[in-house]
Amino acid sequence: MTHVLSSIDLAYWQSTLIKLIVVAILVPTTALILGIVFLFKVMSWMQSRKGPQEAGPRGLLQLLADGAKFVQKEDLIPDKADRFVFKTAPIVVLMSTLLLYVALPASQHLVVEDLDVGVFFALAVSSLSVIGILMAGWSSANKYSLMGGLRAGGQLIAYELPMVLAVVGVVIQAGTLSLNGIVQAQANGAIFGFSALGNPFILTQFVGFFIFLAAVQAELTQTPFDMPVAESEIVGGYQVEYSGFRFLFFFLAEFATAFVFAGIAATLFLGGYWFPGVDTSSKIYWILGPAVLFTKIMLVAFLIFWVRFTYPRFREDQLQAFAWKWLIPIALVNILVTGILKVVF
Amino acid sequence: MSYSDFVRQYLTVALMGGLALILVGALLGVAGRILRPDRPQGQKYLTYESGVDPVGSGWSQSQVRYYVFALLFVMFDVEAVFIFPWAVGLETFGAFGLIEMIVFIAILALGLAYAWRKKVLKWV
How far is the CA of A303 from the CAs of A100, A213, A222, in angstroms?
Answer: 20, 9, 12
pLDDT digits 0-9 by tens, A89-141: 888 988 898 898 888 888 887 788 888 888 899 988 888 888 888 898 888 88
pLDDT of A39 strictly over 60: yes
Restricting to B residues 5-34, those with a Cβ less than 8 Å away from any Cβ of A are: 8-9, 11-13, 15-17, 19-21, 23-24, 27-28, 31-32
Interface probe for B, chosen from A151, A240, A318, A343 (most Cβ of B below 10 Å), is: A343
Residues 6+ apart with CB under 8 A from A230: A148, A237, A313
Q: What angle do CA B82, B88, B92 make, to 5 degrees?
A: 110
Q: For residue A261, what pLDDT is reported?
A: 92
Mean pLDDT of A224-237: 79
Chain B residues near residue A91 by CB distance under 8 angstroms: 20-21, 24
What are the pLDDT digits (tens) for B82-118? 888 888 888 788 888 888 888 888 888 888 888 888 8
Of the candidates B13, B20, B24, the beta carbon closest to that of A102 is on B13
User: CA-to-CA distance for A78 and A261, rounded, in angstroms?
Assistant: 33
The string of pLDDT tens digits covering residues A56-70 is 788 788 888 888 888
Structure confidence at residue A259 (pLDDT): 92
What size, in residues, is chain A? Answer: 345
Q: What is the pLDDT averaged over residues A140-147?
A: 84
Tell me the percentage of chain A whose pLDDT exceeds 70. Answer: 96
Do the beta carbons of residue A120 and residue B82 sit within 8 Å? no
Average pLDDT (B8-17) is 85
Of A75, A154, A177, which has the smallest distance from its Cβ to B88's Cβ?
Answer: A177
Is residue A49 predicted with pLDDT exceeding 80? yes
Residue A4: per-residue pLDDT: 61
Question: Residue A95: which of B17, B69, B98 has the nearest Cβ?
Answer: B17
Q: Given its phi and psi angles, is residue A178 left (phi above 0), alpha (psi -120 to 50 degrees) or beta? A: beta
Tell me if A53 sits within 8 A of A59, measured CB to CB: yes
Q: Return the residue of B nearest to A69 by Cα.
A: B36
Q: Select from A157, A163, A211, A243 the residue whose CB has the most chain B CBs within 10 Å, as the one to mutate to test that interface.
A: A157
For residue A264, what pLDDT is reported? 92
Q: Does residue A194 register a pLDDT over 80?
A: no
CA distances from A187 to A174, A261, A282, A284, B28 (A): 11, 21, 12, 15, 44
Q: How close, in Å, is residue B76 to chain A by CA atoms?
A: 7
The rounded distance, in Å, linking the Cα atoms of A344 and A84 is 56
Domain boundaries, chain B: 1-37, 63-124
pLDDT for position A2: 58
